């Protein structure tokens, strides 16, 4: 089994690369300059050279607020490029693994979102990711679509790194209480993506850690684990006046995937504990 990773400098890609290196698994992960998923010729050349069995699309445009002001790059990277990847993968008999988001839901549900629930994104980023899901599921290649949420791991672009940075030199940090979802650790995404591929799963599944929380609760839990004394106080989203609205409750159920894999996916608290322990060791 050979893997090809798109978006090799992102946080999920880094977790796949580390796991493949540890396990001696064959993979290619060209830098974005050599593997730009919006460039059909680049995609054709890389795929025909690498000849992967599995094309892992870890590339994405995740700037939620910037997408609200100009949605073109989001649609090019999150949607149009996915159709290209699917088309080229199919020509080489490769399976496409693509990642979706909880932001395809409007956040008005009173229970965890399931795979069959109606999608209705409330921001441009969510719309671009929904178009990308369709491109993956209805494209030419066999595909596995895994919806993830609040992804974090190695890298500086996630919620936890931002929290630590914003807390520097501050006694009090305000964090939103009215956004509820599931922080999901790249390590657990890698583990369960590989298990899903081993089982031959195709179609759409939710891959999140188990449980759900407000951003405020997640920040408090994390700071406690890190021994950070900054006081975290809850505030409504309106206080931050971000260009893109966020869903209120977009937490997804991972039951369909857990049942298919006959496993239980670790809770978000457990995952944050492992992540915080790694950060503490590194410092
Ligand atoms: N992060 C989250 O909270 C979150 C939430 C829900 C779903 N997801 C989904 O989970 C998946 C993995 O996300 P992640 O957090 O690992 O994202 P990430 O850290 O932002 O990584 C995405 C990578 O894709 C690269 N990229 C952008 N345009 C590209 C192009 N045209 N060709 C090749 N690479 C390109 C980016 O490079 P540059 O940095 O140079 O642009 C970046 O290194 C994505 O599908 C994402 O939409 C993420």
> What is the Å distance from ligand 1's center to 61 Cα?
5
Provide residues with CB under 6 Å of ligand 1: 6-7, 9-12, 32, 36-38, 58-62, 77, 99, 101, 148-151, 155, 157
Query: Span 3-157+184-211+251-267: which CATH code?
Result: 3.40.50.720
Residues 159, 162: Cα–Cα separation, whole Å: 5
HSE toward the beta carbon, residue 54, CA cutoff 13 A: 22
Instruction: For residue 59, give the nearest of 80, 45, 44 by alpha carbon.
Output: 80
β-pair partners for 232: 173
Residues 34, 50: Cα–Cα separation, whole Å: 13
Domain coordinates of the chain in residue numbers? 3-157+184-211+251-267
Residues 6 or more apart whose CB falls under 8 angstroms from that of 129 comprise 60, 78, 79, 100, 101, 103, 104, 121
Q: How confident is the model at residue 99 (pLDDT cuts 50, 70, 90)?
A: very high
Residues 197, 113: Cα–Cα separation, whole Å: 23
Whether the Cβ atoms of residue 46 and residue 59 lie closer than 8 Å to each other: no
**pLDDT at residue 150, as a whole number:** 98
Residues 177, 217: Cα–Cα separation, whole Å: 8
**pLDDT at residue 162, as a whole number:** 92
**pLDDT at residue 283, as a whole number:** 79
State the burial class of residue 31 (Cβ atoms within 10 Å of its Cβ: 0-12, 13-18, 19+).
exposed
Q: How confident is the model at residue 156 (pLDDT cuts 50, 70, 90)?
A: confident
State which ligand 1 atom lies nearest to the alpha carbon of 81. 31
The mean pLDDT of 69-75, rounded to a whole number, is 98
Question: What residues are labeled active site?
Answer: 125
pTM beyond 0.95: yes
Q: For the chain, give the percent of residues with pLDDT over 90.
A: 96
> What is the Å distance from ligand 1's center to 49 Cα?
23
Residue of the nearest CA to atom 44 in ligand 1?
60
């Amino acid at each position: 089994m050979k893997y090809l990773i798109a978006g090799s400098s992102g946080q999920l890609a880094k977790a796949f690369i580390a796991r493949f290196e540890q396990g001696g698994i064959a993979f290619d992960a060209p830098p974005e300059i050599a593997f730009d998923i919006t460039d059909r010729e680049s995609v054709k050349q890389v795929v025909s050279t690498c000849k992967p069995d599995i094309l892992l699309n870890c590339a994405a445009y995740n700037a939620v607020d910037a997408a609200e002001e100009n949605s073109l790059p989001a649609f090019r990277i999150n949607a149009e490029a996915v159709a290209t990847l699917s088309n080229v993968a199919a020509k080489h008999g490769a399976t496409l693994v693509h990642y979706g988001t909880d932001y395809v839901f409007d956040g008005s549900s009173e229970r965890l979102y399931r795979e069959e629930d109606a999608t209705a994104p409330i921001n441009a980023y969510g719309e671009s990711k929904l178009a990308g899901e369709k491109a993956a599921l209805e494209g030419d290649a066999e595909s596995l679509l895994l919806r993830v949420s609040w992804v974090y791991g190695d890298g500086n672009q996630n919620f936890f790194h931002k929290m630590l940075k914003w807390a520097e030199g501050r006694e009090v940090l305000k964090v939103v209480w009215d956004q509820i979802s599931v922080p999901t650790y790249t390590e657990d995404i890698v583990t369960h993506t590989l298990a899903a591929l081993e089982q031959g799963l195709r179609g759409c599944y939710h891959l999140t850690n188990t449980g759900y929380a407000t951003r405020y609760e997640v920040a408090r839990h994390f700071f406690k684990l890190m021994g950070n004394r900054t006081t975290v106080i809850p505030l409504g989203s309106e206080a931050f006046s971000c260009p893109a609205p966020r869903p209120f409750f977009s937490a997804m159920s991972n039951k369909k995937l857990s049942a298919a894999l006959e496993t239980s996916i670790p809770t978000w608290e457990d995952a944050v504990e492992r992540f915080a322990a790694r950060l503490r060791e590194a410092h």
